[in-house]
Amino acid sequence: MALNAEKFIDSFVETGDYIVSMKDAGCLEKNAYKVKLQGRELLDKNRDEVDKKFHARLREGGPKALGIIERLMDTSESDTVRLNAAKEMLDRGGHKVFNEMDTGRTIEELNAQLVALVGKDGAKMLVGAFKSRKIISGPQLTEV
């Protein structure tokens, strides 16, 4: 019995499980390891179709997910759940929280901030601690 690639794709997009998807596609192999390997091969051969269907599923689920987040934000008794739901709503709406670490500062600017925080000797000690962890290449403290 030949495997039905379309059934495999639909099942894999739904479950994300190689073994379940291979069984749905008509695989008769009993060895789970072999089934998973065959599933990976089938996924690789059909990657574009799987990606297309997966992204379509995400687009279709977006409104439902938004509704769940809105309900959590409005009805949850947990302040933490309401806060996280509100953060998700803001994030999805393009209003990300400002994060000082995401400002794209240069190494020189980061070095200067480190020296300002802990002094030149403290900065050298911290950088030296990274180097002593057997890292092939570690951060370098530049002169400011």
pLDDT tier, 101 (very low <50, low <70, confident <90, very high otherwise): low
Question: What domain range includes position 9?
Answer: 5-45
28, pLDDT greater than 80: yes
Two tokens at 89? 């709503």
98, pLDDT greater than 70: no
Cα–Cα distance measured from residue 94 to residue 111, given in angstroms and rounded to the nearest whole number: 31
Both 56 and 82 in a single domain? Answer: yes
Both 84 and 67 in a single domain? Answer: yes
135, pLDDT greater than 60: no
Q: Of 125, 124, 127, nearest to 135 (Cα)?
A: 127
Both 81 and 113 in a single domain? Answer: no
Provide CB contacts within 8 A for 102, sequence distance 6+.
none
Q: Are 37 and 29 in contact (CB under 8 A)?
A: no
133, pLDDT greater than 70: no
Cα–Cα distance measured from residue 31 to residue 18, given in angstroms and rounded to the nearest whole number: 13
